[in-house]
């Protein structure tokens, strides 16, 4: 593949090297946003509702969509709608963006960090099971890089113990577990449309809700606790009964999302093909790729490509940088941050991989030739 079929824009400039991330905004977004700016609604309006409908039809099945200002907003709403409250325990991944776990601190709940699976960097189900107590209210999982968790085992644990399952799918728009989109497999699933995600709205997020009866409460919490439909219809009683937030998406962001939805399945397929190129050409016996492009159990939507380095990760990063190739850790174990109370001593897999994982470039400004170039640099040693 000498050119990327999704490239509407110029390819990377060789003199600028290969960046780790590059936002993908369809050219159709320019027209869609201009149409919004020329109309009556630029805040939360009809295009937010249109975007929600398109996303539901593509990925959510019968789960109800609620578009919000960020993935973090969506997580906070998911925790509130799960009735998580002060001093409740919630089992969460130690390895994730802090956005997964910080909203629990808003509530006063206690994140209980679970170890990682060394093959996927997703939750270790065995460690999750060990950490369930009478105070546990929910389990939160993250589909790291686009590789789904084992939803059969997680849902079985939740049913056995009367827990809610909350899926952070910020990495995994379009990922499938046993041929079902991951957005249909948990009680609540959140998505991020931040700048460099598979689908962007500049910034934004969405909450998918399994129990449709919670949708109206979610809409109120999204907008100050106010029933917007009743208010706009002139029948609102001018009272607020619950603490609400300003978490709505606006029509400008939704316009970018609508344009992105027009090509989202093609984008996901291209990303998966780029991941396959890494799998084919990255042959060094000093590295291991986290996850696979696909297996009999799952399809990986491939937001990230992460490798485990046998040793001297810093030296490899230095060599890549000298060749104009960016790399980074991107996410870090959350217990390194003081706000979460300090490092835990029972996360042996995370301890083992902490100094060895590395994220390589994967985005739609790249071609197979870029990836082969990166693989050649790594295969030559460091």
Q: How far is CA 198 from the centre of its chain?
A: 9
Confidence band, pLDDT 50/70/90 cuts, at residue 1: very low
Question: 251-261 and 28-37 helices cross at what angle (nearest 10)?
Answer: 150
Using 50, 70 and 90 to split pLDDT, how confident is the model at 363?
very high
- State both tokens at 248: 């709505």
The label of the residue with tokens 């109309």 reads 39
* Two structure tokens written together for 100: 């997964």
- For the chain, strand residue ranges (E) read 64-68, 89-93, 95-96, 110-114, 136-142, 164-168, 176-177, 180-181, 188-192, 205-209, 287-289, 298-299, 305-309, 332-333, 357-360
Of the pLDDT bands very low, low, confident and very high (cuts 50, 70, 90), residue 229 is confident
Architecture of domain 14-23+264-379: Alpha-Beta Complex (3.90)
The whole-number pLDDT of residue 137 equals 98
> What is the domain partition of the chain in residue ranges?
14-23+264-379, 28-261
User: Residue 136: beta bridge partners?
Assistant: 89
What's the alpha-carbon Rg for the chain, to the nearest Å? 21
Q: What is the mean pLDDT of the chain?
A: 95
Specify the CATH architecture of the domain 28-261.
3-Layer(aba) Sandwich (3.40)
Residue with tokens 């790291």: 144
14 has a pLDDT exceeding 90: no
Q: Is the pLDDT of residue 11 over 70?
A: no
pLDDT score of 93 more than 60: yes
Which residues, 6 or more positions from 203, have their beta carbon under 8 angstroms from its beta carbon? 69, 70, 193, 194, 195, 253
User: Is residue 75 within 8 Å of 206, Cβ to Cβ?
Assistant: no
List the beta bridge partners of residue 359: 306, 328
Q: What is the pLDDT of residues 156-210, one digit of tens each?
A: 999 999 999 999 999 999 999 999 999 999 999 999 999 999 999 999 999 999 9
Per-residue model confidence as pLDDT tens digits over 332-350 = 999 999 999 999 999 999 9
List, as one string, the DSSP characters of 87-152.
T-EEEEESEE-GGGTHHHHHHT-EEEEEPBPTTTSSB-HHHHHHT--TTEEEEEEE-GGGPPP-HH
pLDDT bracket for residue 228 (50, 70, 90): confident
């Amino acid at each position: 593949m000498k050119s990327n079929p999704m490239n509407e824009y110029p390819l990377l400039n060789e003199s600028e090297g290969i960046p780790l991330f590059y936002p993908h905004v369809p050219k159709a977004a320019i027209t869609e946003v201009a149409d919004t700016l020329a109309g009556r609604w630029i805040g939360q309006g009809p295009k937010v509702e249109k975007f929600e409908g398109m996303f539901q039809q593509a990925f959510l099945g019968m789960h109800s969509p609620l578009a919000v200002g960020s993935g973090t907003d969506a997580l906070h709403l998911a925790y509130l709608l799960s009735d998580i409250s002060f001093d409740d325990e919630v089992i969460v991944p130690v390895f994730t963006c802090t956005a997964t776990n910080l909203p629990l601190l808003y509530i006063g709940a206690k994140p209980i960090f679970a170890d990682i699976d060394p093959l996927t960097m997703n939750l270790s189900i065995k460690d999750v099971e060990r950490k369930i107590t009478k105070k546990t209210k929910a389990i939160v999982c993250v589909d790291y890089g686009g590789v789904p968790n084992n939803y059969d085992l997680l849902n079985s644990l939740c049913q056995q113990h009367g827990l809610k399952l909350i899926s952070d799918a910020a990495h995994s728009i379009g990922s499938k577990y046993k041929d079902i989109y991951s957005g249909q497999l948990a009680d609540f699933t959140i998505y991020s449309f931040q700048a460099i995600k598979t689908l962007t709205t500049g910034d934004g997020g969405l909450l998918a809700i399994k129990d449709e009866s919670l949708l109206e409460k979610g809409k109120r919490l999204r907008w100050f606790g106010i029933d917007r439909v009743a208010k706009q219809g002139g029948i609102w009683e001018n009272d607020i009964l619950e603490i609400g937030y300003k978490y709505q998406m606006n029509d400008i962001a939704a316009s970018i999302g609508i344009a992105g939805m027009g090509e989202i399945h093609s984008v996901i397929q291209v990303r998966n093909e780029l991941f396959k190129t890494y799998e084919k050409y990255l042959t060094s016996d000093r590295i291991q790729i986290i996850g696979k492009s696909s297996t009999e159990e799952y399809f990986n939507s491939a937001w990230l490509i992460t490798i485990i380095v046998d040793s001297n990760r810093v030296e490899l990063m230095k060599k890549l940088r000298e060749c104009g190739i960016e790399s980074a850790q991107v996410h870090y174990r959350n217990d390194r941050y003081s706000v979460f109370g300090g490092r835990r001593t029972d996360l042996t897999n995370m301890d083992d991989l902490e100094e060895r994982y590395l994220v390589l470039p994967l985005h739609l400004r790249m071609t197979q030739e870029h990836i082969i170039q990166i693989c050649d640099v790594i295969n030559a040693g460091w």
